[in-house]
Structure 1
Amino acid sequence: MSALDPIVEKVLSRDPKARVDLIRRAYDFAVEIHGEDTRLSGRPLTVHLCEVSEILADMNMDEETIAAGLLHEAMEKVGTQVVKEKFGEEIATLADSFHRVVSIRYSSSTADHAEKFRRLLLSMARDVRVVIIKLADQLHNMRTLEFIRPEKREGYACETLDIYAPLANRLGIYRVKSELEDLGFKYTEPEVWDELVSKQEEGKREMQGYIEEVKGILSGIVDENRVDGKVYGRVKHLYSIYLKMIDQGIPFEKVYDRVAFRIICGELSECYALLGAVHARWKPVPGRFKDYVALPKKNLYQSLHTTVIGPRGIPMEVQIRTREMHAVAEEGIAAHWRYKERGSSSGKAESVFSWLRQVVEANQEVADASEFVDHVKGDLFPDVVYVFTPTGQVMELPRGATPIDFAYAIHSQVGNRCVGAKVNDRMVTLGTELKNGDRVEIVTSKNQTPSSDWLEFAKSSRAKNRIRQWIRNEQRERSIALGRDILDREFRKVSKSLSKALKEGMIEEVADRFGVNKGEEVLEAVGYGKVQARQVLEKVYPEFERVQEEAPKRKGPQKKTKQGIVIKGVGDVMVRYAKCCSPLPGEPVVGFITRGHGMTVHAANCPNLKRSDESRRIDVEWGLEDSGAHPVRLRVQGIDKATMLPNITTALAGFGVQVVSAQVKPLMPGKSEYQFALLVPDLDKLQKIIKSVRDLKAVESVIRVRS
């Protein structure tokens, strides 16, 4: 069986009179030209050409487009004239236009990226089929992305999510758009992808049972209304579920409408009749009905959408459309092109071409590729915001994005060290929403690190994932260090060496008894408090009890922790600082033993401590070697002036402290309150900061806030 046979079968099933000889000749010519040429996967290049053309056949594209898909790689070897002589001007022009677009290979260069997109859109103004071929090519490239170098995969996948999936959506080619999104998601966020796939698989059987149950009920509704229609049910594609998780800030389990149902009927009047019947059967969710039949999308997508509370109290989406609407919904502008070729294109279908061409041609004279992209994408993909770097580079961010998103879009290190931002030369907080055309400059500090507070106003998945990744790594490193310290002291009590046990693999040998695989993971579990140090010691040295009895008693009523706290008369405990009073080195402190959580250090004058069980308090003091950073909140009130925030942040920067967050709250006309979360080393530094800020003009008060 030839690689061409499935393509020919699909074309003939659509139109028995189709000119498949044209497709066969194009295939034979491609085989002759490319011979033994292979791709990175090791498979023949002609296999890729056939896969692309089969995708085009699945979209029911005409014979000329499919032939051009088979010939686009030949342009580099034989040139346009040869193809024109053998296959005619139409196919030669299509193949040449496509070749000009893909001749700019993937590059991390913003200029190359913009130029390729510019060429693609300009070719679309002449013949939309060029873009459709490119989407088919991009889809097959994404299906085989595993064969390119790992360092290039994420960039290629990002390009797919940024450009080609939205373009497929804008052209209404839903099937291609959905697969591009899922594949792009798979390679840009592989850990999240694997996690969601796993969770989806866990509930697959139950979900499939639910789908069959609802399909049965909907089929009954269709029959009761004497409609010749079909019912389909599916689980929504993972990327759409992931976007809902991000937008609503909810876990996978809380996305209840993960399934969607579709009723395909014959007549428009039947759509509304069935909608009424569905609403009569199940309660509709307010605000979730959309009539795209009366008000079609720009790509001519038409359908009735409603969300109802279905069986078992689960929200579910139901779409109702005619067969013609369904063809357009699945194939988008590809369907419009087919109708146009058959001479049955409506005025509405022509408006799609007209609108797309107007958007592109209106900006055709813009010389700079990046500027062209900026102008055109604002019309094609409106759910984004475009801002500028200080050097004039255009950055695309999701609508509602903040300086945090901008910083991480530039580079992870810029995001991690971000302390503030200037928007249009005015200092703003990190939570300020950016608008189209804003010029953004990020202020960084080597002392800054990400904060979980940033997740509240980060909008892009890139920023959120980088912040979470840093926090996870930081917590893990701290837990490992703390676990090492606790275990080391436990081992020294019985004259044993933790370093030796780690080096000789003794800790790793017992790791599986604690549900982990590596010695380092044992340290992490001890640091987290999931495993007690004594348990580890007993597993490594079964004779622990005997060794403990024989070990010489150690004198020394004081124990020093790595957090810089000296504990008097107490052995090994974990130490953490109370959030209610946020104690600082230099002020009196008291320890409070919390069952199961080690010791919490409070400021001596903390109201919560005074109400606590006195028998569980212990004497502690700050060690001389403490060099950590401790959280503090300041409340500054003063006259509302444009220079107030930059003056305060400049004063704080002068002390080299980390600003975790900054918020501005109007109090009354002419006055505002500025709240800062800082990390400072000790009380002395804090007092100097307060004095410095208090001395600023327009500042009326500076107060340290204890929650």
Structure 2
Amino acid sequence: MPEKSYFTPEERENVLSAYRQLLRHSVPVMSLSDFNRMRKLITEAVTTGHYQRNKQGINPVVRNLNTALILCDRVGVERSMLIAVSIFNLVVSEFLTIEAVQKEFGDDIAHVIRGLIKSNSLYAKQAAVESENFRKLLLSFAEDIRVIIIMIADRLCVMKMINHHPNEKYRYDVACEASYLYAPLAHRLGLYSIKSELEDLSLKYTNREIYDQIAHKLNETKRSRDKYITEFIEPVKRKLEAEGLNFEIKGRTKSIFSIWNKMKKQKADLEDIYDLFAIRVILETPLDQEKADCWKVYSIVTDMYQPNPKRMKDWLSIPKSNGYESLHITVLGPGQRWVEVQIRTRRMDEIAERGLAAHWKYKGIKSESGLDDWMNNVREVLEAAEHGGALELMRDFKMDLYDKEVFVFTPKGDLYKLPLGATLLDFAFLIHTGLGCKCVGGRVNGKIETIKYKLKSGDTIEVLTSPNQTPKQDWLNIAATSKGRVKIKQALNEQQNKDAEYGKELLQRRFKNRKMEMEDGIMMKLIKKMGYKTVTDFYNELAAEHIDVNRVIDLYLEIERKENNEPYEVRTAEDFTLQPSEHDETKEDELIIGGDVKGIDYKLAKCCNPIFGDDIFGFVSTEGTIKIHRKDCPNAKHIYSRYRYRVVNARWSGKMGSKYICVLRVVGNDDIGIVTNITSIISKEKNIYMRGISIDSNDGLFQGHITVMVDDTSALNGLIKKLKTVKGVKDVQRSSVN
């Protein structure tokens, strides 16, 4: 065992326990000599100083062993993955070479370690993946499915380890990344228990108040929930036993994150959310009787309780592409409460809990072609993405991960699967890029339809083409799949690049005629001054004769003259340096941005209206200005996922002086005098001023937006508390409406 001084007492106890558990788990796939060699190498690396903590203070031995245990518990026991995750840090720290691993443990483990090292190298300089690195990360994942599984398990391990980490920003960054990258990937691979825990921990670190509130209420209502589940299950249990079925039936509470999503969607409190739990029936039945027995259970349950046909989900007939098989029904249980019932076999349950990896156990029983198709699609989309496409890639990729599916046929009867919302144009590009580029419409179930037609399961589609057809810019709004969008962009870029080359040659000839040299720096400034976002756009307009060449040359000469006194500097958000602006020295600074820099010009974002006292961050625009957002802004997750490299720290300095705009959303009964009472309270508040009010009334209820000027969050919270006491007022919340 490694030296005591390397571990804290808590870590040492954790490592000893993890070693014992890992030894028990790994017996079916790993020899004792494998395990002892691995343990010996780790011990030697620690004693020789090759196993250092990372810059956040996380112990790699603890992290790797616990990641291996998560793989065992949540995914499955696979020799290469367990050994690779346990020793890959030894290669990173140069204690071992890849060749030594290859010789000691075999080629396959060396291959997995290479993938892990490549993926982890993207974290060398920052805690979170920047959007430009996102493509590289997914390319690494796409090389071997086991790499992505290990990275997901490792991310869950890190999320568990940082609960009491002193660096709040690090916790927030890691939580955001888990939510926008790792949870969707876990979802797509069917690792639902990991996905749920990642989302719960992410909510815990980004919105602790909401997390604690829901967790506390769930604990308070546990006894009544357990009683209701028992009341629901008992009669079902008796019926199933009478039919001679071998089964397990249990109830489970839904995750805190999914409950929070329901509260937001339904705009309701926890007490008003009825489907907080699901009942699961797991059958022990032979493979050839699985579907028949599942439908038998369905018949028994729906005979006892009234089903809701709109909420029935049949993944028995056509499983999800990640291998998920189950029958979901929602029935009206005792006390007129809707209850979700999931019916599946033990094999299906293991695949549902452990995702694709469970197929290792049932190899040959279930086809994995769906996942292979998905991984091939990931590779194709990533490798085809042009420079600059990474910023849109995450949105497209995540969309394909979460979308449900439709199944359509060719006239020959071949079956194809696309995301829900896919169009006829997407189908054409799925079949072949050339077919998509020439597509003018199609014949759907014998009827002529346009390229905008949204596919429905069961459709038979014949693509119609024309040799004169070429991709159009508005096709990007029609295509719903990432593959279709990438192929359209490629075709458009090829044509634009040809036009741009012609436009550039045209301008260069005019410069040559005037015996002038064209400098790229001045041209960049000219293009920006004329309002074009890209060089290609500018030269395309020039080629199309939408710009007068003589005007361009005149503007070039004007900028060139100014250059003698103003050296040109290209400033982007990535290399933006915070500099104090020229401001009134007598004015007190209320914001400190990027560490201890004061006097920075900034704007408060209108999407969330931050006020003094809110948790905030700064976002550098491409023009170099800074917008201040609340950390719980509706756009915060989007900003962190796509533009992490343009986020800067920001905090209030402790000095106040300004008034801040804030919008309150008030909901209540449409009683006489209620609006007067609300405005009366606001008018009596010291240092709070009302700037506007809008009220909508419908069916005895009113909803209003009140704009007020306040000093800080303390004053705002006090006002909200008082408004909630007005008779007839049901709810008062901050709103982003302006």
Q: TM-score w.r.t. structure 1 length?
A: 0.55
In 2, the alpha carbon distance for the partners of 1:150 and 1:166 equals 24
Please give the secondary structure, in 2, of the residue aligned with 1:315: strand
Partner of 2:43: 31
Are positions 1:114 and 2:124 aligned together?
no
Partner of 1:10: 25
Partner residue of 2:107 out of 79, 89, 93: 89
Are positions 1:354 and 2:373 aligned together?
yes
Name structure 2 gaps, 5 residues minimum.
Answer: 1-15, 405-420, 422-479, 486-531, 535-571, 574-601, 611-620, 640-651, 658-672, 697-703, 710-738
Q: How far did residue 391 of structure 1 move?
A: 7.5
Distance 1:205 1:300, change over 3 A: same
Partner residue of 2:144 out of 127, 140, 148: 127
C-alpha distance after superposition, 1:671-706 (max 9, x if no partner): xxxx999889xxxxxxxxxxxxxxxxxxxxxxxxxx
In 2, the alpha carbon distance for the partners of 1:355 and 1:20 equals 37
Are positions 1:210 and 2:222 aligned together?
no
Please give the secondary structure, in 2, of the residue aligned with 1:75: helix
Q: How far did residue 102 of structure 1 move?
A: 1.4
Q: 1:114 touches 1:370 (CA, 8 Å); kept in 2?
A: yes
- Counterpart of 1:631, as a letter, is G
C-alpha distance after superposition, 1:448-483 (max 9, x if no partner): 999xxx99xx799999xxxxxxxxx9xxx99xxxxx
Please give the secondary structure, in 2, of the residue aligned with 1:309: strand
Please give the secondary structure, in 2, of the residue aligned with 1:256: coil
Distance 1:106 1:200, change over 3 A: farther
Q: How far did residue 63 of structure 1 move?
A: 0.8
C-alpha distance after superposition, 1:115-165 (max 9, x if no partner): 543333223322100011101110100001135311211111010011101
Q: 2:115 touches 2:141 (CA, 8 Å); kept in 1?
A: no
In 2, the alpha carbon distance for the partners of 1:461 and 1:119 equals 21
In 2, the alpha carbon distance for the partners of 1:203 and 1:601 equals 37
Distance 1:20 1:60, change over 3 A: farther
Partner of 2:726: none
Please give the secondary structure, in 2, of the residue aligned with 1:321: strand
For 1:526-605, list aligned pairs within 5 A. Answer: none
In 2, the alpha carbon distance for the partners of 1:129 and 1:627 equals 58
Distance 1:131 1:445, change over 3 A: closer
Partner of 1:140: 157
Partner residue of 2:208 out of 182, 186, 190: 190
In 1, the alpha carbon distance for the partners of 2:629 and 2:392 equals 34
Partner of 1:329: 352
Distance 1:329 1:106, change over 3 A: farther
Q: 1:34 touches 1:45 (CA, 8 Å); kept in 2?
A: no
C-alpha distance after superposition, 1:547-593 (max 9, x if no partner): xxxxxxxxxxxxxxxxxxxxxxxxxxxxxxx8869xxxxxxxxxxxx
In 2, the alpha carbon distance for the partners of 1:601 and 1:100 equals 58
Partner of 1:219: 237
In 1, the alpha carbon distance for the partners of 2:278 and 2:705 equals 45
- Counterpart of 1:156, as a letter, is V
Partner of 1:173: 191
Please give the secondary structure, in 1, of the residue aligned with 2:320: coil
Distance 1:120 1:334, change over 3 A: farther
Q: 1:19 touches 1:63 (CA, 8 Å); kept in 2?
A: no
- Counterpart of 1:282, as a letter, is Y
In 1, the alpha carbon distance for the partners of 2:26 and 2:603 equals 48
In 1, the alpha carbon distance for the partners of 2:183 and 2:344 equals 23
- Counterpart of 2:108, as a letter, is E
In 1, the alpha carbon distance for the partners of 2:151 and 2:603 equals 31
- Counterpart of 1:29, as a letter, is L
Q: How far did residue 186 of structure 1 move?
A: 0.7
Name structure 1 gaps, 5 residues minimum.
Answer: 395-410, 420-439, 464-472, 479-577, 582-593, 603-621, 634-660, 663-674, 681-707
In 1, the alpha carbon distance for the partners of 2:132 and 2:377 equals 19
Distance 1:627 1:156, change over 3 A: closer
Are positions 1:248 and 2:271 aligned together?
no
Q: How far did residue 412 of structure 1 move?
A: 9.8
Partner of 1:423: none
Distance 1:132 1:412, change over 3 A: farther
Q: 1:245 touches 1:251 (CA, 8 Å); kept in 2?
A: yes
In 2, the alpha carbon distance for the partners of 1:126 and 1:345 equals 25
Partner of 1:414: 605
Please give the secondary structure, in 1, of the residue aligned with 2:322: coil
Distance 1:106 1:143, change over 3 A: farther
- Counterpart of 2:212, as a letter, is D
Q: How far did residue 311 of structure 1 move?
A: 2.2
Q: 2:323 touches 2:368 (CA, 8 Å); kept in 1?
A: yes
Partner of 1:364: 383
- Counterpart of 2:310, as a letter, is G
Partner of 1:63: 79
Aligned CA-pair RMSD:
4.5
Q: 2:139 touches 2:382 (CA, 8 Å); kept in 1?
A: no
In 1, the alpha carbon distance for the partners of 2:609 and 2:80 equals 53
Q: 1:218 touches 1:231 (CA, 8 Å); kept in 2?
A: no
For 1:485-496, list aligned pairs within 5 A. Answer: none
Q: How far did residue 74 of structure 1 move?
A: 1.4
Distance 1:215 1:20, change over 3 A: farther
Distance 1:289 1:39, change over 3 A: same
In 1, the alpha carbon distance for the partners of 2:97 and 2:282 equals 46
Q: 2:53 touches 2:60 (CA, 8 Å); kept in 1?
A: yes
In 2, the alpha carbon distance for the partners of 1:632 and 1:231 equals 54
C-alpha distance after superposition, 1:172-205 (max 9, x if no partner): 0111111111111111110100111111111112
- Counterpart of 1:126, as a letter, is E
Q: 1:108 touches 1:155 (CA, 8 Å); kept in 2?
A: no
In 1, the alpha carbon distance for the partners of 2:258 and 2:106 equals 42
Partner residue of 1:376 out of 397, 420, 433: 397
Please give the secondary structure, in 1, of the residue aligned with 2:311: coil
Partner of 1:46: 61
- Counterpart of 2:155, as a letter, is Q
In 1, the alpha carbon distance for the partners of 2:205 and 2:136 equals 26
Q: 2:690 touches 2:706 (CA, 8 Å); kept in 1?
A: no
Partner residue of 2:340 out of 317, 324, 328: 317
Q: How far did residue 260 of structure 1 move?
A: 0.8
Partner residue of 1:22 out of 13, 34, 37: 34
Partner of 2:88: 72
- Counterpart of 1:102, as a letter, is N
Greater CA radius of gyration, 1 or 2? 1
In 2, the alpha carbon distance for the partners of 1:159 and 1:449 equals 18
Please give the secondary structure, in 2, of the residue aligned with 1:95: helix
In 2, the alpha carbon distance for the partners of 1:144 and 1:39 equals 13
Distance 1:345 1:117, change over 3 A: farther
- Counterpart of 2:151, as a letter, is K
Q: How far did residue 233 of structure 1 move?
A: 1.2
Q: How far did residue 261 of structure 1 move?
A: 1.0
In 1, the alpha carbon distance for the partners of 2:224 and 2:708 equals 49
Q: 2:25 touches 2:72 (CA, 8 Å); kept in 1?
A: yes
Partner of 1:561: none
Partner of 1:297: 320
Q: 2:682 touches 2:690 (CA, 8 Å); kept in 1?
A: no
For 1:497-536, list aligned pairs within 5 A. Answer: none
Please give the secondary structure, in 1, of the residue aligned with 2:21: helix
Q: How far did residue 219 of structure 1 move?
A: 2.1
Q: How far did residue 337 of structure 1 move?
A: 4.2
C-alpha distance after superposition, 1:579-633 (max 9, x if no partner): 869xxxxxxxxxxxx7xx996899xxxxxxxxxxxxxxxxxxx9xx999453266
In 2, the alpha carbon distance for the partners of 1:460 and 1:292 equals 35
Please give the secondary structure, in 2, of the residue aligned with 1:103: helix
Q: 1:27 touches 1:70 (CA, 8 Å); kept in 2?
A: no
